[in-house]
């Protein structure tokens, strides 16, 4: 019985040592490398980007005001996100 267990342990150890690449994911040579870039994506024109930046700046300013208001009213930390969200909806 001991010899059979010893032989099985040796076989398992040798199978792990002999073919480690069989456990790894192998790359498919038929596919192109993934770069993360989409060739059909274009950037917005400068005037549109400037407009988006100005809108985002206004939103950021409103959120900052609402956060300051929540802090002044001593709203608990776990309730502040909901308070800020409601405040920005009312302000907008």
Q: Distance between terminal CA atoms of the chain?
A: 80
SS (H, E, C) 43-61: CCCHHHHHHHHHHHHHHHH
What's the pLDDT tens digit per position in 20-54? 555 555 555 555 555 566 665 567 788 888 999 99
User: Where along the chain do its domains lie?
Assistant: 44-92
pLDDT-based confidence at residue 18 (cuts at 50, 70, 90): low
**Quick count: other Cβ atoms within 10 Å of Cβ 32?**
5
d(CA 90, CA 81): 14
63, 88 contact by CB (below 8 A): yes
Among the ranges given (2-11, 35-44, 70-79, 81-90), the one the predictor scored with the smallest mean pLDDT: 35-44
């Amino acid at each position: 019985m001991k010899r059979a267990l010893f032989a099985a342990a040796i076989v398992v150890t040798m199978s792990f040592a002999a073919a480690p690449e069989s456990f790894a994911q192998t790359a498919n040579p038929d596919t192109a490398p993934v770069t993360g870039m989409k060739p059909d994506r274009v950037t917005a024109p400068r005037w549109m980007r400037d407009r988006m930046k100005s809108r985002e700046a206004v939103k950021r300013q409103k959120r900052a005001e609402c956060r300051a208001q929540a802090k002044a009213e001593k709203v608990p930390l776990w309730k502040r996100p909901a308070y800020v969200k409601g405040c920005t909806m009312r302000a907008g």
